[in-house]
Structure 1
Amino acid sequence: MKLVEYLAPLKNASQQARILATMYFLEATAGRRQLTTGDVRKALSDARVTNLKSWNLTARLQQAGQFVHAEGSGATRTWELTESGRAAVAAFAPPLPPVSRGIERQNEAAALRARVAKITDAETRAFASEAVDCLEIGAHRAAIVFMWVAAVHEIQERVWAASTPSAITAAVQSHNPRAKMCKKRDDLSEYNEELLMQLAHDLGVIDKNEKAELLKALGLRNSSGHPNKLRPGEYRARAHIEDIISMLF
């Protein structure tokens, strides 16, 4: 189904209703949750909605209340339907045809990529992007490993930025007196990842709950990165990626 078909029964609906329906359609069919007003306007234009030049999309979205969530400002401000917004559109708009699992997987990957794109550190973002690539093609163990590498790199960056070499050395040697002295950023790679989590907690980079959840993620990474009978499924791998993104980014 094309957007022009989906909006046809709504031709007499309000501008706001058609804007929300367009966002709902793009999310369901293309996995595009966060949209600028430019994105929505282009979709409406492609669907040949009349008198579109007179529409003030920002005003209509601002008036949508709890149905939308906004992030950012200016031309780059993005809008996303909330759960109540999705429910509202589903109540007045025509039903969408069932989506195949393959398309759903592509949509889910697109939504994850939108979140990954917001990661500021380029190296961390590259690892996380590879994790999503692996998830989309069904390489679940690789997805888990790559996302954990992204998490470790991010925590190393935060530890280095939040402290000094002498303080890092003192903290890590309080748990392992034989641990290498930290003199430069790359020395953090010499510490095993469980010790790194403890170090990050000691220095206030992560809290107690985040440490506990990250150690669980480390356990899954270890099981996925070594020869054994574990075969993590799609949902477990995606949850691993989503959990780390939610905690760290």
Structure 2
Amino acid sequence: MLKSENLKEVVHNKNFARKDIVLIALHCDGGVGKKVSEIRKNLTDAGLRKSSQWNISYILGRLNGLAINTKDGWELTAEGRNAVSKLGIANKRLEADSFALDLRDLINKGIVSEDTKDFVLEAVSCYEIGHWRSAVVLSWIGAVNLLYEFVFQNKLSAFNAEALKRDQKWKTATCVEDFTRLKEFDFLQILTAISVVGKSTKNELEARLKFRNSCGHPNSFKLSERSVSSHLEILILNVYEPFSLSNVVK
């Protein structure tokens, strides 16, 4: 999805007609429920000052069904989304920029652990330059570290009790590093048992762990930007967003 922060990358393309630029601006951030004033602001913020003189309502109304004006604002139709795709927006790595911005936003909002911040920053940098395997591995390490921090701050007693129930030789964890004595797969099972994550989330994180393992060892495994984007999106939605601001005692 194209974000408004990335709009400046495309609106100055001389090959785009005025109607194309307005369509792309509407497409930003999902293309749903946008007021004309918001579209105009996105364009001027992107440095296209001449757009302040455009009759955007008139332009949108003459797009032959590519956009509709609802009670919530202008929205792209399915045909409109297809038209944006045909303009080649998806080929400019703007999706990569959006994911990178999401991760950097989370850092700025306050990931507590400095170690986790370092991993996230490295993962972002790797993703931006197309180092897919490194981005997968580092983003996973950062996500697991967030979960370690959360459990240590909020669920340590419950975690130790469950770990001991599963393994009588378990030595009580007294610091974050002690969690690394467990395999990450086993750590995820305990998280579900003590209600830190649900079963569906646990299953998806197990899949992320397998993906990380495939990327973390020399082998013939092939991956693409799209598969890495999906990996990052799942970690953002299920770990980075819910836990980055939550790993404090409540």
Report if TM-score (shorter chain) is over 0.5: yes
Residue equivalent to 2:179: 188
SS of match in other structure, 1:47: helix
Task: State the Cα distance separating 1:212 from its structure 2 match.
Answer: 1.0
2:45 aligns with one of 42, 45, 69: 42
- Offset, 1:141: 1.6
Mark the CA change 1:27 to 1:223 in structure 2 (over 3 Å): closer, same or farther: same
**Any conservation in 1 of the 2:185–2:206 contact (CA below 8 Å)?**
yes
Which residue of 2 is the match for residue 114 of structure 1?
Answer: 101
Contact 1:3–1:25 under 8 Å retained in 2: no
8 Å CA contact retained: 2:192, 2:202: yes
Paired residues in the alignment total: 206
One-letter code aligned to 1:198: Q
Contact 2:122 2:138 in 1 (8 A): yes
* 8 Å contact kept, 1:4–1:48: no
Q: Quick one: distance in 1 between partners of 2:150 and 2:117? A: 15
Amino acid in the other structure paired with 1:49? S
Residue 127 of structure 1 aligns with an amino acid whose one-letter code is F
- 2:27 corresponding residue in structure 1: 24
Q: Are 1:85 and 2:76 counterparts?
A: yes
Q: Among residues 111, 123, 127, which one is paired with 1:131 in the alignment?
A: 123
Take 1:219 and 1:240, find their aligned partners in 2: how far apart are those partners? 11
Tell me, yes or no, if structure 1 residue 227 matches structure 2 residue 188: no
Q: Find out whether 1:147 has 2:134 as its counterpart.
A: no
Deviations 1:77-96 (A, max 9, x none): xxxxxxx53647569x9997
Question: Contact between 1:201 and 1:207, CA under 8 Å: does it hold in 2?
Answer: yes
Query: What is the alpha-carbon root mean square deviation over aligned residues?
Result: 3.8
Q: TM-score, normalised by structure 2?
A: 0.65
| Preserved contact between residue 159 and residue 203 of structure 1 (Cα < 8 Å) | no
Q: How does 1:47-62 map to 2 (within 5 A)?
A: 47-50=50-53
Normalised by the size of structure 1, how large is the TM-score? 0.65
Aligned partners of 1:3 and 1:22 also within 8 Å: no
Identify the residue that residue 162 of structure 2 maps to in structure 1: 171
Name the residue aligned to 1:237.
228
Matches within 5 A, 1:201-212: 201-212=192-203
The residue number in structure 2 matching 1:76 is: none
Check conservation: 1:151, 1:244, Cα contact below 8 A. Answer: yes
Would you say the 8 A contact 2:132–2:225 is kept in 1?
A: yes
Q: Per the alignment, in what secondary structure is the counterpart of residue 174 of structure 1?
A: helix
- In the alignment, structure 2 segments of 5+ residues that lack a partner are 1-9, 32-37, 56-68, 242-250
Asked if structure 2 preserves the Cα contact closer than 8 Å seen for 1:194 and 1:215, the reply is yes
List runs of 5+ in structure 1 lacking aligned partners: 11-16, 29-34, 53-62, 69-83
Letter in 2 for 1:46: R
Partners of 1:100 and 1:209 lie apart in 2 by: 30
